[in-house]
Structure 1
């Protein structure tokens, strides 16, 4: 996994690496790739969702924001 200080266009997390979906403002873990989309799931399990690779950044395992991760501690969806 990248250290988050720079993000090259070919960055790809490993299976289980913590990530942050910028569009949904959700933290999760990387599960795989299919058809140009990345499959993510909540930390600890749950329903997977897809995200475009350009909208995903590295995150720390504890869900706290990294330099460019911005992951939420609760891993939840944005509240209205």
Structure 2
């Protein structure tokens, strides 16, 4: 019984945290913008891969939309 109650408490704690964060993250208190960086695991790095593409997400009133998407090839090379 103690193990079941502990598991339930852990799940409820995680759900509580999500219920506190999600309304604001989904634009409930005004529009929000997020940059989403997607890694490609074909070239292993300490963080899991190299960033291959990025997307700009917009959240407002619970609705998330994709605003823009770009590949790393869309950016010009940096001058050294």
- Bigger-Rg structure (1/2): 2
Greater fraction of residues in strand: 2
By relative contact order (CA 8 Å, sep 6+), the higher-ranking structure is 1
Q: TM-score, normalised by structure 2?
A: 0.21
Greater fraction of residues in helix: 2
Q: TM-score, normalised by structure 1?
A: 0.21
